[in-house]
Amino acid sequence: MNDDDKNKQGEVRLTMEGAAAHIVFDRADAHNAMTWHMYEQLEAICERLANERDVRVATFRGAGGKAFVAGTDIQQFTAFKSAEDGVNYERRIERVLSKVDALPMPTLAIVDGWCVGGGLAIAACCDLRIATPQAKFGVPIARTLGNCLAISNTARIVAEFGIGRAKRMLVLGDMLNVDDAIAAGFVIESVEPDQLDARAAALVDRLSRNAPITMRVSKQSMSRMLAALPLEGDDLVRQCYGSHDFHEGVAAFTEKRPPVWTGA
C-alpha cells in the first residue's frame, strides 16, 4: 500500500508509554470513519495487547479533535449485494469488537467530538469514558442508512445506556449529548478540551496503580454475565441488509440527498 492509499485508508496507531498503551484512530479528514484496513489494524493491536502483561491500562482516542470515530466508512457498503453481505459484515465487526471488549486491562475511551455508529460500538466496549462538552453519541441509522446493528452491539448499548436511551438512538435516530451520556453512566465525566490530556493522564495513572488481577477478574465477571444471555439475531440483520431501503440509504448518503423509504 503506497502513502496515498494509506492516507485514504487511515491508520490505527499504537504507542506504549510505561504501563499504558495508547490507541489512536487516525483518519481525521473523514472524522476517523473506520475502513476495513483500520478494523484489521485494531484487531491486530488487540491481539498483541491481550498478551502484554506489563500493560496496566489502554486508552482509545480519535485524531483531530473533532471525532472519536464517526462510524464505518459508508463507501464500504456500496459493494453489498445481498443480505448475507450484511451478516458477514456484522460478524466481522463483532469479531474485532469482541477483542476490544476482552482486553484484560481496563480501557478508557477519550471522546472529543462525534462518537457515532461503529465509534459508539467501540466506545461501548471500553470500560470507562470521558468526553468533552461538545461530544455527541448516537447510531442514527434509522434516519441515514436503513441498516441495523448486530444483536451483540445492541445489547452493549442497552447495557450501557438503558433501553429508553437506546430506543432514542436506534428508533428516533437521536444524537445524545454529554449530559445524557453522564446521566446514563456511559460517560464518567465531562472535561474541557484544554484539560482533556491532563485528566486522561490522571485516570491512566490511577488505573495503573490498581490491582491488575482484581480489575481483570471484575471485567471477566461482567462479560460472562452478558455472555450468559443467549442472543441470536442474524435473521434481523438479513431483514435490514437484504432490503431495498438499505441500498436506498447507502445511495442517498453517497449522493448527499434524503433517502426515500419504502419499507421494502
Predicted confidence (pLDDT) at residue 3 exceeds the cutoff of 60: no
| DSSP labels, 141-193 | GGTTT-----HHHHHHHHHHH-HHHHHIIIII-PEEEHHHHHHHTSSSEE--G
Do the domain assignments include residue 70?
yes
Do the domain assignments include residue 237?
no
Predicted confidence (pLDDT) at residue 12 exceeds the cutoff of 60: yes
**Of 5, 28, 20, residue with least CA distance to 103:** 20
Q: To which H or E segment does residue 248 belong?
A: helix 244-254
Q: Which domain holds residue 26?
A: 3-193
Question: How big is the chain by its Cα radius of gyration, in Å?
Answer: 18
**CATH number of the domain that residue 82 is part of:** 3.90.226.10
Predicted confidence (pLDDT) at residue 5 exceeds the cutoff of 60: no
Predicted confidence (pLDDT) at residue 26 exceeds the cutoff of 80: yes
User: Strand pairing partners for 190?
Assistant: 131
**Of 13, 60, 12, 58, residue with least CA distance to 35:** 12
In this prediction the pTM is: 0.93
Q: What is the pLDDT of residue 226?
A: 77
CB-hemisphere CA count at 13 Å for 83? 11
Where is average pLDDT lowest: 61-75, 161-175, 182-196, 221-235? 221-235
Do the domain assignments include residue 244?
no
Do the domain assignments include residue 94?
yes
pLDDT in tens, 141-158: 999 999 999 999 999 999
Do the domain assignments include residue 74?
yes
| Distance (Å, whole) CA 176 – CA 95 | 27
